[in-house]
Structure formats: C-alpha cells, structure tokens
Structure 1
Amino acid sequence: MELVPTRLSGCLQVRPFFAKDDRGTFVKTFHAERFEELGLPVSWREEYYSTSHQGVIRGMHFQTPPHDHEKLVYCQQGRVLDVVLDLRTQSSTFGQHLAVELDAARGDGLLIPKGMAHGFLALTPDVIMAYKVTTTYAPAHDAGIRWDSFGLDWGIEHPVLSARDAAHPPFADFQSPF
C-alpha cells in the first residue's frame, strides 16, 4: 500500500495492494499498521457505500465540529471524478480544490482530513463508492458547499443532483468553522 501526498495538505491518494488474475481482482483498501506508522486514522466509526448513475454529482459534503471527520473513500465499481475542497482557514491551501479520477480497475482511493468538503461525479454507469469515516453521522452537523461555486470545471453542464445538494450555499457565502 502506497500513500501519496496531494497538493492539499493532509489529503492523500491511496494506492492499495492490487492483484489481478484469471479469477478477477483482490484489493486491500486498508492496513491499520501502515496507517498507524504514518500517524493516520485507524479507528473508523461508520462505513457505508453509495450507488450512482453516470452524470450524478454527490457533494460537496462535510460535517462541522465537533462531529467533523476524516474520510477514506474508494471507487468499488466504475470511475468517478473525486473532488475535495479545503475549508480549513489556517491551511495554506484554503479554498483550493483537488480533482482526481478514482477507478475501480486500479482500486485507488483518497484519505480526506477533517475540514475538507468531498464530492464526486459518476463518470460511468452504475458507480459504487465506499466510505469509512471517523465519526458517526450527526444530522445537526451535516453541511455542504454548492458543487459549482468554487471554480472547478466538472466537465458537465446538467448533472443529476439531489435537492439537498442543489440547495447548498455557495463557497463565497460560507463561514468556515475549521
């Protein structure tokens, strides 16, 4: 397993152990000892997955303190444009975003620190995304930033959005608690 720094401080691309043969593939998405060696989270409180059709954008989601969390995400089926936005006011990359393609055929993922919003665009039909988070869901601390308000060209004009995601405030109006 290789953990590769990105241009956003604390956000790491995860390149897991990946094996492929005539039977299919085997992917090790998490290794506690390796994460501990690097001072990364190993105590996950919830794990879940989502399915999305091509053209769906989910995001940009986060939880506010004291229920903010680290998040480990993987694409288990299909391909996504995975997007992270730094909301940490003391960060040298505050307000900057990162967009990387996650592909189930490679098994790679992202480790996202507290204080970052996360979302993705499904690039293929029938995407499955898996998530691990270090805090449990707290509805009163659930928040988001509007998907089209922070300068990223998603490459799509009319994505499929939930009513909730379409109603998130724009980044310019956001008062960060991080």
Structure 2
Amino acid sequence: MGGCLKILPIVREDRRGVFVKTFHVDAFRELGLPTVFAEAYFSVSHRNVLRGLHFQIPPMDHEKIVYCAEGEVLDAVVDLRRASPTYGQHILISLRAAEGTMLYIPRGMAHGFCTRSEHAVMMYQVTSVYAPACDAGIRWDSAGIPWDIENPVISERDMGFPALSDFVSPFD
C-alpha cells in the first residue's frame, strides 16, 4: 500500500537467544524514513485482543513504526488519504517477535492489530506526541479486514469509532 514499508531488521541469533536492531539512523535515512521520534511506547495484549483502528488527525498526525517484541500479531493498516489510489484499502502483515519484522506506517493511515499468540508486546515509535483532541479511529469491522477471529476482545472506545463509510477524512 502506498507508503507502507515492511522492514526486516538485523537479527542475530545464537545459543543465548536473539538480538534485534530496531533502529539504525543511516539505514532509516537511506529508506527515507523518519529518524526523529517524539514518543515511544508499548502495549501488552492477551490472545484475541483487537486494538484499533487508530490514528491522529492533523495537525498532530504522525508517522509510525511498529513491531512485535514478544509473541505474534496480525497487523492491519487502512489508507485514509483521500487522494491516494489505495484510499479505503487495507494491508495485513503478520508481525512476529522471532522474526523482528517492523512496519513503517505513513501519515494518514489507520492502524490496528489482533493478538494471535497467548500474549504479545507491541512497540511503537511515532513522530508526534499524543494529543487527545486529535486522537481518532475507525471501527475495526468496517474496512473489510479479514481478522480471522471470533469474539475479539475490544475496548468500548474502539467499538464507538465511526465506520469507515461514515468517516470524513482530513487527510489529503
């Protein structure tokens, strides 16, 4: 999808375990990715937890890099940029801690995931700080995403988001 990028970081494994380099300024610059982040955070979720689909609207919209530090998730991104040829479409990518796979998400995209393992730790780096007045989302079941899950565990907040078809996008 326009602008999303699957990143395969340096992963080293030996008898002690695994070492994953999640950020290298020169490698990110070569890919045209942000090298300055305003916030970093993580979430811990149990099996069948579905989080999303989240984003921030302008002027606090942001680029985001996500990866699964423990467990496995099915990660989803929906394009909300009105002028994009992929507007309203989604991509799905499995993020597994064992692989270290990361996903770069540009501005104007909604993001969410469903936990496939017993539990998962998701890491996030974003280019703007959290701004409650700009916090937004679309309902998880309104973008045609085949989550492949029965009875997901979803927050009341996420259940209350508008459907994609009712959302008026501020993203050009």
Partner of 2:125: 132
1:164 to 157, 164, 169: 157
Partner of 1:5: none
1:112 to 105, 111, 114: 105
**What letter matches 1:61 in structure 2?**
H
C-alpha deviations, 1:104-161, integer Å up to 9, x for none?
0101010000000000000011200000000000000000000000111111121000
C-alpha deviations, 1:24-48, integer Å up to 9, x for none?
0000011111111222111100000
* Identity over aligned pairs, percent: 56
Partner of 2:11: 18
Alpha-carbon distance between aligned partners in 2 of 1:20 and 1:165, rounded to the nearest angstrom: 37
Q: With the length of structure 1 as denominator, give the TM-score of the two structures.
A: 0.95
Alpha-carbon distance between aligned partners in 1 of 2:22 and 2:11, rounded to the nearest angstrom: 9
1:91 equivalenced with 2:84 (yes/no): yes
2:94 to 73, 93, 101: 101
CA RMSD in angstroms, aligned pairs only:
0.6
1:28 to 6, 21, 25: 21
Say which SS state the counterpart of residue 161 (structure 2) adopts.
coil
Alpha-carbon distance between aligned partners in 1 of 2:29 and 2:11, rounded to the nearest angstrom: 21
Alpha-carbon distance between aligned partners in 1 of 2:76 and 2:42, rounded to the nearest angstrom: 17
Partner of 2:70: 77
1:141 equivalenced with 2:134 (yes/no): yes
Alpha-carbon distance between aligned partners in 2 of 1:161 and 1:38, rounded to the nearest angstrom: 34
Partner of 1:64: 57
**What letter matches 1:77 in structure 2?**
E
**Paired residues, what number?**
171
Runs in 1 of length 4+ with deviation above 4 angstroms?
Answer: none
Alpha-carbon distance between aligned partners in 1 of 2:32 and 2:144, rounded to the nearest angstrom: 32
